[in-house]
Structure 1
Amino acid sequence: MQTATSARDPFDALLAARAVCPVFQPIVSLRDGRPVGFEALARGPDGSQYQTPAALFAEAAHRGVTAELDWICGVTACAEALDRGMRHAPLFLNVDPDTLGTPCPVDLLPTYERALQELDLVLEITERRGGNPASILRSVTTFRQRGGRIAIDDVGVDPFSLNMISMLAPDVIKLDRSVTQGDKPSWARTLVINSVKMEAQATGAAVLCEGIETPEHLEAARAIGATLGQGWLFGRPGRLPTAVELSADPLPRVTPYPGCASTPFAAIRDRVRTLPMSQHMLVPLCGLLEEMAQHTDAVRMLFAVVPKTTPFDEQTWMTYSHIAKRGVAVAVFGQESPAPLGAGVHVVPLPDTDPLLDERVLIAVGSHFAAAMLAHRAEPTRTCDGESQIYDAVLTYDRRIVIEALHALVSRLTSLPANAPGL
């Protein structure tokens, strides 16, 4: 007689039994070759059609249960680390962006809570495009508040990961094996390396090269400037050791951006001197940032807030559409675009009660460039040029302030604007 579990198809039975086997691969310091931590990887039951991680996660994606599988894989790895007493070595856990913000299954929650208290966890956000940026930001903030670190995985595969770097200030940036093993110069590879190095220098994040399998790959990783490495040259995935001599080079812990302000202008209200400006005076300030996005590769995200009292004209919508086609993630808050001029531009409607409607904002962010024009509607007066002065405004290039202002907009997004295809 079949039980309820055995009557299910194999994948349902796998999920119900939490039948995932964790394996672990060392992450090493390129200075002394010793481990700084271990990445947990998942395998399905031996001999099954879901034994490989590719088959396992492909089936989960097909069935819409990636988040549940992510939780099973992560908590199972934590249980193994707890059982083997590996409390001093950082444990890297992969997670899909769509999983962030979803609740941990009830039966796994006690182990996860124990892991948060006893293990040194590093959450690796994978390159797979998707996820709610606001949910990602909230989940990352909560995880860090509980002592965890953040890594961005497989950088160089999808521009989504570079945008995540700009928003999250990760502790570890992992370059994909295609970057490490690339044997031909290309502008795309160069752009990724420069972007990552700029971010690491600005925040103190560690750069890790994946896919180091030969001495030549190791030499390439060192030439890139990576301080950490991972690959078959240092060890294949296997059982977690019960004892290990860790590197003298600890993982960094980057200072995260502060909690999200209610609006971009609120992020700078008490920190930056503003000047009274008319709407006419704001136009050239916005033009400085729009030109950067339109004619250079310095900008990866361009976010604008446009009050209904100062709508975009058709030429501006065309400009933003062109910027989006260049591979920049473009979002406009507060107005609807006159189709098809806004093609490629992510439009975010705002409720009438949103305080953003009192602001005019333009934020441009890239790997080595960050700027924001932030303006808040003030009481109208008369200026020397005869116009009504209606804004207190500032143009700032302080990256930390710009990212804080950006977070106030990201908190209103349900999806990140699409941009250029991956490498």
Structure 2
Amino acid sequence: MKTLIRISNAIMEKYLPDPYIFVTILTVLVLLLGVTLTDSSPLDMVTYWGGSFWSLLEFTMQMVIVLAAGHILANSTVFKKGLSAGASKIKSPGMAIIVITFVSLIACWINWGFGLVIGALFAKEIARHVKEVDYRLLIASAYSGMVIWHGGLAGSIPLSIATEGHKFADIMGVVPTNVTIFSTYNLFIVIVILFTLPLFNRWMMPKEEDTVVVNPTLLVEEKTELPKPENNFASRSERSYILTILIGMIGLTYLIYHFITKGFVLDLNVVNTIFIVLGIIFHGTPQRFLAAAQDAIKTTTGIVFQFPFYAGIMGMMTASGLAAVFSEWFVSISNEHTFYLFTFFSAGLVNFFIPSGGGQWAVQAPIMLDAATTLGADYAKTAMAIAWGDAWTNMIQPFWALPALAIAGLKARDIMGFCLFILFFSGIIISIGFLFI
């Protein structure tokens, strides 16, 4: 099996293109499929693409901030000491892989944005302390926590259908989280992955002669030179701790009020607020915070210029009916016993082209809920099958790996050989959960 993993890594490193090339290939592929499998003309597909190209601007900005703010926080002295203290307890490559996988899984179960950034930052710090660990597998393990996110506390589909007046309430009603996130089958999948994936990732460790250790230049943090202090108001205000204290108090007060009034609700905006407020506080002065921000924003290029292409693909998939074609094919080969499994598989396929949980639910829900009605299937379990499919193929979809790769200084081809086997391993566990539990 390890020979297959080595071959997989070699193939990915040689043939997997840069994520930008990948998304352009996907764009052309979806356009051709839309023309072939639906009634859409080439001009129709181009129009769908252009009309949706900027539809993810808010989400794009959220992702830019989660990555930049995570960087800012990680470059603060206090946070660096915390990460370093945790990483210093890890003494071997095997322990490094197990710990980073477990931490990433827990963090992504709480919130995917939090887990994605924290996992990559912690992995990078571990690489500073454990020189012999395979850096590719370490980052792949940090990213592998994403496989669990949609079955966790911030899962967009289960949280959406638990909200009064959601889009499909007339079909399925309001579905409480005790029959989705905290259902027996979902907890089975989460717990089994939580305690087996760290060991599986540890088992994938290459032989010593095949191990690729981190390039030391990737661990060097670039710092912006701070201007020399001057005796004027502008310079003094930039170095003022008072402004930091005031903004920090405002931010912390808001966060405390949020959690008291709404409970432990972590959406992407709240995560970003936490990162920014703590970043401001931990850097001490506005000048240090802005210098860290200047360094951090450099890592967001891939997100800024690739997410609009995925928005265009999502527009083509939705408006042409191509996503419906894929979903209906899986429904046609399903029965009352295999329906949830094939719903999961169909969602995994659609996720390649619509890597957005909310967007995918909007596209697939009408088809899958109608099929569930016909087969007498459970609506809640149908929704969770779509949710898990959306999370599952993230393992080989470079879209979501971009923030982790930017932090690590790697390319998608460096980790996807390992991620392919994580996909197979987690897919078996998820399939068992939907077939037998």
TM-score, structure 1 normalization = 0.22
TM-score, structure 2 normalization = 0.22
Higher RCO (Cα < 8 Å, 6 or more apart): 2
Which structure has more strand as a fraction of its residues?
1
Task: Say which one has the larger Rg.
Answer: 1
Which structure has more helix as a fraction of its residues?
2
